[in-house]
A and B are shown apart, each in its own frame.
Chain A
Amino acid sequence: MTSLLMLWEISLLLCMIAAGALCVLVLARVLGERKDRKQEDLRAELLPALLGDDFPAQRLTGTRLDVAATLTSELAEMTRGTEREALLSRADAMGVPELLVRRLHSRSAQTRLVSVETLSLFDDQINETCRALDDRNADVRLGAALALAQRPDAPSPETLVEKLRMGSEEHSLLLVSLMSDLVDRDPGSVAALLFERNIPVEAKIAATDALAQGGGEYAPLLAYMARESFGEPDLQPRIYRALGRNGHPAGADAIAAGLDSPEWTVRAAAAEAAGRIGAAEVSDKLGRMLADEAWWVRLRAGEALLRLGPRGIAALREAAEAADQTVRSTALAMLAEGRAT
C-alpha cells in the first residue's frame, strides 16, 4: 500500500514540478521579450553605424557591443569585397573582435561556431581563429577550418587533417569543400597528401575530389589512383566520378579499365566518367554495358552514349535493334529520353 501511495504522491510532485518549470519559463519569456524589444531598438540604431560612412564608429560596451557583434556576423555573411572590408573595419573600431574572442570560450557550441566564422574575417585574428581548431566540438573545429581555408595564410592541409581528426572523428562531405578551398591556394600541398602514408583514406578522397576541380594537370594522378584503388568499392567510384569532373582525356585508359570492374558501383561511375570526358573510343563497350544486370550501370552507360554525340547515338541505335530484350528496351528508352530516335 505504501508503494501505491508513493506512486500517487510522486506523480503529483512531478506534475507540480513540471507546472512550476513551465511558469518559470513563461516568466522568462515575458522578461525575454522585453530584452528582445530593447535589442531590436539597438539593432536599428547600430545598423547604420556598421554599414554607413556617415556614422563615426566608436568603442562599444555591454549590450550595445553584444548586438554589434551579432549584427557583424549576420552582415558579414551578406556582404563581399569592399563593402565587407568597410563593415569589418567599423566593427573592429567598435571592439567586436575582442568580444568574439571572449565568445570563443562560451559554453554554447553555436555561439563559438558563429564567433569563429566571423573572427576569421579579421586579418589580425588568425591566431585566435586557429585556436578554435582545438575546440572540443567537432562542428566548431570544422567551421574554423572551413573559415581558415579561405584565407591566404591558412594552416597547411596536413595540420588541418590532424586537427580535425579526419578519418577517426570527422567524416563530413564538407571536407571536400575544405580541400577545394585549399587547392585554390596551394594545390601542390593538397596533392602531396595523396603520397603521405599516415594520411587517412577519407582525407585522401576529399583531396582527390578537390583536385579534380583543379584542372587537367592532375588527371594522370587521378588515373593512377583510380587504378591503384582496385578492390576498394567505396573509394574507387568517387575517384572515377572525380576523373569525370576533371574532364581531361588523360583519364581515358583508367576509365576504360573501370568499365570492366566486378563492382557495379565502379562500372556505373566509370561509365558516367566516360561520358563526361567524351571518351568516344569506349562507345562499343558502353553499348555492351546496356545489358548489365545493374540498372544504374545501364542508365549511366546510356547517358554516356548520349553525351558522346553521333558515335554514341549510333551505338544506341544499333543496340535498339539487338535481340536481347534488356539491351533493346534500355537503348530505346534512352534514345527517346534524349530525343535522339
Chain B
Amino acid sequence: MNWLALSDPAAWMVSAAQVIASVVIMTGVLQTLFYFVQLAYAGAALATRPPVARTATLWRRYSEQAPSISVLAPAFNEELNIVESTRSLLALQYPDFEVIVINDGSKDGTLQRMIDEFGLSQVERFVDRSVEHAPIRGFYASPDYPRLLVVDKENGGKADALNAGINCCRTSLFCAIDADSILESDALLRVVRPFVDEPHLTIAAGGTIRIANGCKVDSGRISDIRLPGNFLALVQIVEYLRAFLMARLGLGKMQALTVISGAFGLFRRRHVVEVGGYSHGTVGEDMELVLKLHRLMRDRELPYRIEFIAEPVCWTECPDSVAVLSRQRARWQRGALECFAKHRDMLFNPRYGRIGFVGFSQILLVDVLGPLIEVVGYVLVPLLWALGLLALPWLLAFLAVTFTLGIFLSVATLVLEEIQLRRFPKIGELLVLAAVAVLENFGYRQLSNVWRLQGWWQFVRKQQSWGAMTRKGFATS
C-alpha cells in the first residue's frame, strides 16, 4: 500500500478497499491454518488411537471394572418418541448403568406414556441438592425395569433438567444425552474407555454425533445406514463430519476441547457438581460446562484430561427445513458468543494454557469474528472488484479462503473418514458426500453465515429463548 498516495482520493479508495480485503483474507487464512492444524492432529489422533476392540471383547474386558454410569435423558414434549427412545437406552450394552429420564414439565402426555408403557408407580428417592434446578414433583419406577427411573419436574429447560438428573444420580459418572437421540448399543462401552485407561485424570469425554435422517430405525436401533434425500440434511452430514472428525478430534488430541455435545457426553459427576452443574440462562450450556471444567482444573493446577473419541456414536435427527435449521444455527451462534463473553478472561491467559490460547482462539476466529468478517467479505470484495478498486488477485485470494480451501477441508475430512473409520457402507454415498462438500460452498455456506449473524443479533439483544425445534421422528422399518 502506498501511504504517500493517501492524499489522492482515488488512491485512498483503492487503499481502503485493499485494507478491507486484507482483513477478510487474513481472517480466512488464519481460520484455514487453524483447520489445517486440526486436520493434522485429527489424522494423528486416528493413526495413534488405541486398538479398537470388538464389542464382545470390550464387554469381556470391562464387565468387571467398568464404572457405573447414569444415563440422563431430559425430555420435553417427547410423547411421540419417548417410549422407543427409553427402550433403546435400556437395551444398551454396558455392565452397570441406570437410565434417568427427566420429564421437564412436558405439556403433552410424555409422563403418562412412560407410566403406562413401563408400568411405573410413584416412589421415593433420596436426592442430592448440590446443583440448582426447578422443583421435582415426583419419581417413578417399576420393579420390572430396575434400571429405569423417571423424574417428573417443573419446566426449567434442558440445563435445568440435566441438573435435576445430576442430583438424582448415584454413580461417579453420568452420560448426558438427548432423549430423542439414539445411542449405538456399545456407545457407553466405547466412550468410557478414557475413564478406564486413565481413571485419575479423565473428567469428561465426548463421542461422535451422526445424522440419522434417511436411516432406517428398528426397535430403537439404526438398522440400515442410508443417506437422506434432503439437501439440507446431506450438507449437515458433511458439516458434522468436519465438526467431529476434524475439529473435535483434533482439539481433543491437543487437549484443547472446548465443547462436548449436549447430545452425548460422559462426565465425572463430582467435578460437574463442583462447578455448579449446567448453567442456567445460556443456550450454550454444553460448551459452558466444558469451559467451567477447564477453569476449575486449571485454577486448582490439577492434571486432567477431557477427551473426544471417534468410535462411539450417537444418532440424531437434524432439521431438514430452512426455518428450523436457521433457528438452530442462530441459537448455536448465540450460545458460543455467550460462553465467549462469560469466560473472555481465559482468552490468551497463560493461566489457562492451551485452552486460553488454542481453544479460545478457535472460538474467537470461528465463532466470534468468522461470520461477521466473512459476510462483510461476501458483500464488499466482489463489489470492490467490480468497481475496479481491487485487482483480480484480491478476488481470487478471497475465493480461495471462502470456497476452494473450504472444499479442500471437507474433502480431506471425507478422505480421513474413509481411511480410518469407513462408516459409509456404499461407495456411491461417499461420492454423493464429496459432491455435497463442493456444492455446499455455493449458497449454503453464505446462508449459514447469515443465520449466524442472526445469532449475533440475538446475542446483542440478550435474547434467551431456544425457539421451536420441530422434529419429524425417525423412519421406522
Contacts and interface: CB of A to CB of B under 8 A. Distances in A.
A140 B434 CA distance: 36
Contacts of B415: 18, 21-22, 25
Interface stretch (A170-178, A249-257, A274-282): A170-178
Contact of A176 (B65, B391, B408, B414): B65
A29 B128 contact: no
B404 A8 contact: yes
Given A4-B393, A337-B124, A11 B400 contact: yes
Interface string B30-71: 000000000000000000001111101100111011110000
| Chain B interface size, under 10 / 10 to 19 / 20 to 34 / 35 or more | 35 or more
B412 interface: yes
Nearest to A10: B400
A11 B130 CA distance: 52
A18 B405 CA distance: 11
A74 B60 CA distance: 13
Contacts of A113: 51, 53
A8 B61 contact: no
Contact of B50 (A22, A29, A77, A139): A139
A26 B431 contact: yes
B170 interface: yes
A120 interface: no
B412 A26 contact: no
A112 B51 CA distance: 9
A312 to B, nearest CB: 15
B397 A8 contact: yes
Contacts of A14: 404-405, 408
Interface residues of A, number: 51
Interface string A28-40: 0110010000000
Contact of A15 (B51, B66, B407): B407
Given A172-B197, A173-B199, A177-B65, A11 B51 contact: no
A5 interface: yes
Interface string B378-410: 000000000000010110110111001101100
Interface string B121-134: 00111111110000
Given A26-B427, A173-B199, A11 B404 contact: yes
A59 B384 CA distance: 75
Chain B, interface SS category? helix
The residue among B199, B393, B399 with the most chain A CB atoms within 10 A of its own CB is: B393
Contact of B126 (A1, A7, A21, A333): A333
Nearest to A174: B65
B393 A146 contact: no
Nearest to A333: B126
A208 interface: no
Contacts of B431: 26
Given A7-B29, A19-B411, A295 B393 contact: no
A192 B275 CA distance: 42
Contacts of A1: 391, 393
A4 B397 contact: yes
B50 A109 contact: yes
Contacts of B115: none
Contacts of B129: 295
A22 B405 contact: no
A280 to B, nearest CB: 21
A25 B201 CA distance: 38
Interface of B: 25, 29, 50-54, 56-57, 60-62, 64-67, 123-130, 170, 195-201, 391, 393-394, 396-397, 399-401, 404-405, 407-408, 411-412, 414-415, 418-419, 427, 430-431, 434
Interface of A: 1, 4-5, 7-8, 10-12, 14-15, 17-19, 21-22, 25-26, 29-30, 33, 74, 77-78, 109-110, 112-114, 117, 137, 139-140, 143, 146, 171-174, 176-177, 180, 234, 295, 298-299, 302, 330, 333-334, 336-337
In the complex, the 9 A-B pairs of residues with the closest C-beta atoms, listed nearest first:
A336-B124, A333-B126, A11-B404, A11-B400, A4-B393, A8-B396, A18-B411, A4-B397, A110-B51
7 contacts: A4-B394, A7-B29, A15-B404, A21-B412, A26-B431, A109-B50, A174-B196
